[in-house]
Amino acid sequence: MNPGPLAHEEELLGRTKAEHAGDRVLRPFQLFEQQQASGGLVLLGFAMLALAWANSPWAGAYEQMLGVPLGISLGDQVLRLDLRHWINDGLMAIFFFGVGLEIKREFLVGELAERRKAMLPIVAAVGGMVVPALIYAGFNFDGAGARGWGIPMATDIAFALGALTVLGSRIPEALKVFLVALAIVDDLGALLVIAIFYTASIEWRGVAVIAAVLLALWLANRMGARRGSIYLLLGLGLWAGFYMSGLHATLAGVLTALFVPARVNIVPDALPQVIHRGADDIEAQALDNEPDAMDPDRVAIIGAIAGNLDAATAPLQRFEHSVQPWVTYGILPAFGLFNAGVAIDATVLGTLSTAVPLGIMVGLVLGKSVGIGLASWLAVKTGLAELPQGATWRQLIGTAFLAGIGFTMALFISGLAFHGTHFEREAQLAILIGSLLAAAVGIAILRTSKATQAPGPE
């Protein structure tokens, strides 16, 4: 018996809704992927520039520029930091704000929103954090460099996704989504590590400021505040509270992002009707009067349409689109320029076989791949998760090696762990070498892989 026209329309409607739901998840990811891939190339260029500058005859100017003092005064209060600290403690708070927005979006409507889909990247990320940390600790157990165990834990999304994107259509889209979700969980783990283990002391007056601003953020969220200026001002207050407390100030960015509303004030399905009604009002107004772009009634109608468009967009989505280009093409390149400038000489090269550099390099190259691969295999074999659609085990292992590219977050944590000590330069060079090795091995494995799904680990 053939289905009637009504059944056919329902089938089409159901398919349209399913496609819309899929687009809601994939479209933000595809935009994010394109931006991160191109941003990775920009970041790489600035990192190479920093390396060349730090090893050139003008290396002294590079070091002097890092130490340029800059201050902000408010009455009798003066905040004075050098240029590198303003970037690492100030601008990177905006980077972490973007990370917080990504984390919230992924858990609400992205790859981490559905439990079964979320389990593989979550379990893989945990394995990819624990094993590198244990490897590092094994090399540095009870040694002077033991504090750096958090360095090889995190993945650089921009570089890892850029390396994966270079391989083109041979890589399933689901594998790219898996890598991004894994890296986001990785970042969340790294943030917890920074907050708990890389705080020297706590000033309780600052904690009181943090509590007060968090309450204000909660109230703003509950009252439906949607203006970016409100969250900007409260975010600055939270940053000041973290700075006063001794906790790392960049954590303010993540916490501010978590309070940004993800709600809309107009259901998207009702938006076409609202816009059509506004267009009808403009048309009716034009029939009564000579069309005039400056006419107050027309301006009011257009303003109402613009307000409805704004109300149909979640602030979280709007803020993410606004912040991400600044982070990708401004803040991260600045971070790379002022943190990747390692002066490479016989002294630092001679330390590569010592405990700190070895722990970092082995942790990034082998720790990440073994941790992610083993955790993923256990999750799939126990039925807790399934492989990304269209991906093979070989491709997943290649992706796990790419997750060993730890550039941005690894450099950030190395600065927290070893700032002002000889270990900092050793760690920076080890991060660069380990990340390059992980990228080379991962790309080599993925270039020789086939796109047919294997029944089990190869």
Residue with tokens 């989504």: 177
24-197+320-447 maps to CATH 3.30.1330.90: no
Q: Which of 159, 190, 112 is nearest to 401 (CA)?
A: 159
Q: What is the pLDDT of residue 102?
A: 84
Q: What is the pLDDT of residue 185?
A: 87
Looking at residue 364, the DSSP 8-state letter turns out to be I
Residue 302 CA to residue 282 CA, distance in Å, equals: 8
Residue 86 CA to chain centroid, in angstroms? Answer: 20
Residue 339 CA to chain centroid, in angstroms? Answer: 18
User: And the tokens for 211?
Assistant: 């509590």
Instruction: State whether residue 165 is helix, strand or coil.
Output: helix
Beta bridge partners of 80: 71
Q: Are 181 and 118 in contact (CB under 8 A)?
A: yes
Rounded to two decimals, the pTM is: 0.75
* 215, 219, 222, 224: CA torsion to nearest 10: -130
Looking at residue 388, the DSSP 8-state letter turns out to be P
User: And the tokens for 308?
Assistant: 């409805």
Q: Are 422 and 143 in contact (CB under 8 A)?
A: no
Residue 401 CA to residue 445 CA, distance in Å, equals: 9
In degrees and rounded to multiples of 5, residue 446 shows phi and psi of -70, -35
Instruction: State whether residue 72 is helix, strand or coil.
Output: strand
Q: Which of 415, 287, 336 is nearest to 156 (CA)?
A: 336
For the chain, what are the domain ranges? Answer: 24-197+320-447, 199-247, 269-307
Per-residue pLDDT tens digits for 278-295: 565 655 665 555 555 556
Residue 168 CA to residue 176 CA, distance in Å, equals: 11
Residue 163 CA to residue 156 CA, distance in Å, equals: 11
Residue 402 CA to residue 407 CA, distance in Å, equals: 11
Residue with tokens 């990304």: 388
Looking at residue 110, the DSSP 8-state letter turns out to be S
What percent of the chain lies above the pLDDT cut of 70? 77
Beta bridge partners of 70: 81
Greatest Cα pair distance in the chain: 84
* Residues composing the chain: 458
Residues of the chain falling short of pLDDT 70: 1-38, 73-78, 111, 168-169, 265-312, 451-458
Q: What angle do CA 322, 324, 329 make, to 5 degrees?
A: 115
